Amino acid sequence: MDISVFEIIGPVMLGPSSSGTAGMARLGKAAHEFLDAPVKSINLRFHPRFSGYSGLKSHVALVGGILGFNESDPIIREALEIAKSKDIEVTASWFHDPLPSDAHTIGMTITQVDGKTKIITGVSVGGGSIDIIGIDKFNVELESTAKYLFVWADCDCEEKIKELIPLAGKIKKDIKEGKYLFYIEVPLNMDESEAEKLNNISSVERILFTKPFLNFGNIPHEPLFKTFDDIISLSEKSGKDMYELAMEYEITRSGRRKEDIFNEMKQSLLYMKEAVEIGLTQPVKTLFGVGTGYDGKLVQKAVKEGKTLGGSTLGRAMAKAIATYEVGCSMNRIVAAPTGGSSGIVPACLLTVQEDRGFSDDDLVKALFVAAASGVCMYYHNASFSGAGGGCQGEVGVSSAIAASALCYLGGGSTEECCHAMALSMKNLLGLICDPIAGFTEVPCIKRNAMGAANAFTGCDLAISGVKSFVPPDEVIEALCNTQKLLPPQLRGGRGGLACTHTAQLARQLQEKLSKECTLEIKEI
């Protein structure tokens, strides 16, 4: 599986969390694809280690997705009220033995008004990306960017399926209690009427097409690059800069027009600007009040009054970074880059230098593609972008590093310098743990965005001065992956670090109180 640039700069989402909110909305929307009648009831099954789901509004996002809303739609905030207005009962329960290995595994049991029940199981894997691993009682492995044909049958009819329909993809299947589920990846432009002939097979009970759960396009191809060495080499041979290579990468993998790709990224930039504007000019109330909601404004005020010692550029960038994620923590719209928890860093850096240097919006869009290209290379090294998966080094650390490469591009840096800017920034944040207090992604997450922005300027300025990372960029990311593997579980997700302080324990009591007040009934099924 490859990755789109819009999975690095994106998704456009409601905060606070890309894995706990956006990914959950996407899981719910994936489940929506399997429904064929109005919904009567929904039961959400959570992992016991994910007891703080209410703090991230995961249940709200899941229900919103099941109702058919996208992760960026503000109406998701009202999902529970909408469900109630439709007389849809919403409850929650816990997984029991055997427990799923991933704490972000979600089971959705959806009963329709016709009495049929759909059970969809998926995992929010970080950065808004999802995996669907179960349909009813069947185990599946689905690519999020693929279109599928599903065939339910009471015997093995694989050969007949092959005879009736020329399929591009391999037929996969699972067997449970004498029943079969076949699932086949098919071309995005396949005429769905072709599958109707499958109804002539007596053993076939049901057929269904699903659209890609993540619609970034995907055509057979070999990725243009996978490593920073690849990018540097391609740039030297072709004379193309890092933006041009990133654009070519996305065109090659998606088959989309350059203009459409550019305009989609430009829309993301506009959403970034919107979040900064709201955060710095309007009242913002974070979901749980652990974060103040006005720290970004305080920093901005101090900069204007000349109180800060780090200079205007750095101060204003920190203000924007904090303000952006304060907006995210109020369940308003942000752009993950690459996660919700680090969403303030990239826009803060780029919008601040736009103010200082007069760069156009198109210049910033190109820089976003450079940031995305850096993230793509990290992905192919198997770096985790999830705090729970690999610590905040995979969120704030990665975001700071890709922001540094984008800044370097705007500063006229070569492709090699952009890659070294990434490396110089990433090295500083290796080992950064994930320790949100009480499971709320407010403290230390909001102010950690300010630190990530400051670090990005450091990496950029070193690289653009001619300073190189002694350890090559690809090896730095290998070090990141190694550090993520070695990081103890207690330091990945709020069970160590700041989360163990006395103040954190008091906040945990608040979290427990809020969980009890959650509108979802815990109902064992």
Three-class SS state of 431: coil
Cβ(16)–Cβ(54) below 8 Å: no
Q: Output the tens digit of pLDDT for each of the chain's 525 residues.
A: 689 999 999 999 999 999 999 999 999 999 999 999 999 999 999 998 887 788 889 999 999 999 999 999 999 999 999 999 999 999 999 998 888 988 899 999 999 999 999 999 999 988 899 999 999 999 999 988 888 999 999 999 988 888 888 765 689 999 999 999 999 988 878 888 888 888 889 899 999 999 888 888 777 789 999 999 999 999 999 999 999 999 999 999 999 999 999 999 999 999 999 999 999 999 999 988 889 999 999 999 999 999 999 999 999 999 999 999 999 999 999 999 999 999 999 999 999 999 999 999 999 999 999 999 999 999 999 999 999 889 999 999 999 999 999 999 999 999 999 999 999 999 999 999 999 998 889 999 999 999 999 999 999 999 999 999 999 999 999 999 999 999 999 999 878 999 999 999 888 887 777 666 665 666 654
Cβ(454)–Cβ(318) below 8 Å: yes
CB atoms within 10 A of CB 174: 17
User: Per the confidence metrics, is the pTM higher than 0.85?
Assistant: yes
Phi-psi bin for 384: left (phi > 0), alpha (psi -120 to 50), beta? beta
Cβ(253)–Cβ(331) below 8 Å: no
The DSSP code for 151 is E
- The structural domains of the chain, ordered by start, are 147-211 (3.30.70.260), 228-513 (1.10.4100)
Q: Rounded CA gap, 364 and 407, in Å?
A: 9
Cβ(401)–Cβ(456) below 8 Å: yes
The length of the chain is 525
Phi-psi bin for 227: left (phi > 0), alpha (psi -120 to 50), beta? beta
The DSSP code for 372 is H
Q: Rounded CA gap, 296 and 407, in Å?
A: 21
Q: Can you tell me which residue has the tokens 């960029």?
A: 473
Query: Residue 124 pairs with which residues in a beta bridge?
Result: 130
Distances (CA, A) of 479 to 227, 394, 402: 14, 12, 16
What does 275-340 look like in DSSP terms, one character per residue? HHHHHHHS----SSSSS-S-HHHHHHHHHHTT--SS-HHHHHHHHHHHHHHHHHTTT-EEE-SS-G
Q: Please write down the long-range contacts of 161-165, taking CB distance under 8 Å and 24 or more positions apart.
A: 161/198, 161/201, 164/197, 164/198, 164/200, 164/201, 165/194, 165/195, 165/197, 165/198
Q: Please write down the long-range contacts of 110-114, taking CB distance under 8 Å and 24 or more positions apart.
A: 110/31, 110/35, 110/39, 110/41, 110/42, 110/43, 110/66, 111/39, 111/40, 111/41, 111/42, 112/35, 112/36, 112/37, 112/38, 112/39, 112/40, 113/37, 113/38, 113/39, 113/40, 114/37
Q: Can you tell me which residue has the tokens 């008004």?
A: 113
Q: Rounded CA gap, 344 and 339, in Å?
A: 10
Structure tokens at 27: 């899981």
Query: Residue 13 pairs with which residues in a beta bridge?
Result: 334
Q: Can you tell me which residue has the tokens 């760069």?
A: 359
